[in-house]
Structures are given as structure tokens and as C-alpha cells.
């Protein structure tokens, strides 16, 4: 579809009445769903391109990444234990005040697992350029863990503990999180730390040191920015596959419009 045909159809849809769209819905009930899902997929594709470009350029600071993930919460997708996560509060306060108030122990995201019962998950975001390991060896081909990594893990552990013991117990927070159609509960909250890039691990000793460390840390789960990017691409791929049956709901891909054949 191109040229005058596209212009005429655009003009028709812009001026269409409610009865017109009701008729379309009766004739092709999946049309609107297909259009909406396709548009959402395009938006997410652009977000992943931005993610990848910024990962390469390294221009963003922690605040920029915080804003980006706040605008694209779908990227968190499946948690490391294959629980789907949704954001409950961005930049929450974990203790000393209400979850959305000022002061106290502040974090990046308070999310919740998605199911019949939802449980809160603490997410902390660093930078792709944050080092995972120090350059020097400790001994026997074992590298020293970086200050950023150790500090990030300790921070998430502290936030999880503070949220469980203080923030989640405040009446205002419990009322906000445990009420409504999708209540969220706090029971030894899981933590996720997003930090660094696996490209830093350019030899066997570095890869072994990092992987053994994170596999043996009970909480938080540690995921790098490039791993999160790969996950977001995987989510997009699955989404694209699910769109295929409805991507051409009225068979337009098989129709080649010729402007000269239009009589109106």
C-alpha cells in the first residue's frame, strides 16, 4: 500500500465515526489488538536500540539508567529465577519513612514477582562501566573483587534487610502494598544487583572468580548490563513470534494497491 491509497486510508481513519470503528471491530475483532501489539513492539525495539547504543557509548550515569529502566520496566522481564517482575515503586525508601516519602534508606526499584501471590523484590542499578574485579591477582589465579561489586552486594543486602524489618512493617506501606487487586507481600525479599559488563572478564581467571562468587552469593542475584540487554532481546524475539499470527489480520500483505484502480 503506497501513494494516494495510503493517504486516502489515513484520511478515512482520521475522520471515521464511532460507528465505523464498531463495524470494523465486528468484521475484524483482532484488528485493533494486532495494531496495538505491533505498535508496542516497535516502541520496545527502539528502547532496546537505545539500551545497546548507550551500553556501547557509556555516556549515561546511574540516574540516566534509572530513568530509562523506569520508562521501560518490561526489560526486567523474567527475573533470574524466571519470575516475571513488575515495578511497584521507583526509588523507594526502605526504612525510616514511608515507601514513597523522603529520607531514609533509598534504593532504585521495589518490584514484585507476578503470580496469584506477589512478593517484593529489591532492585539496585549501578553502571555498565562499574568494575567487577580489580586488575591485580590475589593468589593462585584468583582476582580481587571490585569495591563497586562488593559495595553493591552489601548495599542490596542491607536494603533487603531494612525493608523487611522496617519499611514493609509501617502501616502506611502495608496498606499501600497489601491492598487492592494485586497485593504484594514481603517475606525475606530477594535482591537483584545490575552492574558492570561481562566483556571485562577477558581471561579464565577473571571469569572463574566472578562466576564462582555470584553463584555462591545467596542474595542478591547479580546480573550485568550486557546480560540484561540479551534478556531484553530474547523477550522481543518471543514477542515477535507471538505477533506473527495477528500481524496481518486482514490479509493486507497479499494485497498490492494500485492508485489507478481506486475510483474514490
pLDDT value for 20: 65
Name the burial class of residue 196, with classes exposed (0-12), middle (13-18) and buried (19+) by CB atoms within 10 angstroms of its CB.
buried
Q: Tens digit of pLDDT for each residue in 190-240?
A: 899 999 999 999 999 999 999 999 999 999 999 999 999 998 998 888 877
SS3 (DSSP) at 75: helix
**Per-domain boundaries in the chain:** 18-261
Contact 157, 88 (CB under 8 A): no
**Pick the residue with more confidence: 154 or 14?**
154
pLDDT value for 251: 46
Element (H, E) at 262: none
Q: Tens digit of pLDDT for each residue in 93-126?
A: 666 555 555 555 556 657 666 666 778 888 889 9
Share of the chain above pLDDT 70, in %: 64
Amino acid at each position: 500500500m503506497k501513494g494516494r491509497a495510503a493517504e486516502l486510508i489515513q484520511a478515512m481513519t482520521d475522520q471515521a465515526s464511532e460507528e465505523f470503528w464498531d463495524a470494523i471491530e465486528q468484521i475484524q475483532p483482532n484488528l485493533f489488538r494486532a495494531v496495538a501489539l505491533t505498535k508496542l513492539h516497535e516502541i520496545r525495539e527502539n528502547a532496546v536500540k537505545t539500551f545497546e547504543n548507550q551500553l556501547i557509548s557509556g555516556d549515561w550515569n546511574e540516574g540516566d539508567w534509572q530513568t530509562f529502566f523506569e520508562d521501560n520496566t518490561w526489560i526486567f522481564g523474567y527475573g533470574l529465577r524466571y519470575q516475571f517482575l513488575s515495578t511497584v515503586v521507583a526509588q523507594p525508601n526502605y526504612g525510616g519513612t514511608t515507601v514513597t516519602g523522603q529520607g531514609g534508606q533509598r534504593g532504585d526499584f521495589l518490584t514484585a514477582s507476578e503470580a496469584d501471590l506477589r512478593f517484593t523484590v529489591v532492585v539496585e542499578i549501578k553502571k555498565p562501566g562499574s568494575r567487577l574485579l580489580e586488575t591485580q591477582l590475589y593468589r593462585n589465579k584468583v582476582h580481587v573483587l571490585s569495591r563497586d561489586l562488593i559495595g553493591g552486594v552489601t548495599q542490596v543486602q542491607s536494603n533487603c534487610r531494612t525493608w523487611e524489618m522496617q519499611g514493609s512493617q509501617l502501616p502506611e506501606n502495608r496498606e499501600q502494598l497489601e491492598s487492592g487487586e494485586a497485593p504484594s507481600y514481603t517475606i525475606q525479599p530477594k535482591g537483584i544487583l545490575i552492574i558492570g559488563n561481562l566483556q571485562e572478564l577477558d581471561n579464565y581467571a577473571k571469569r572463574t572468580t566472578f562466576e564462582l562468587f555470584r553463584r555462591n552469593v545467596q542474595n542478591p542475584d547479580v546480573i550485568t548490563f550486557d546480560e540484561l540487554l540479551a534478556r531484553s532481546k530474547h523477550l522481543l524475539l518471543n514477542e515477535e513470534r507471538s505477533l506473527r499470527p495477528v500481524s496481518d489480520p486482514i490479509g493486507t500483505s497479499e494485497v498490492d494497491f494500485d492508485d489507478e484502480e481506486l475510483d474514490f
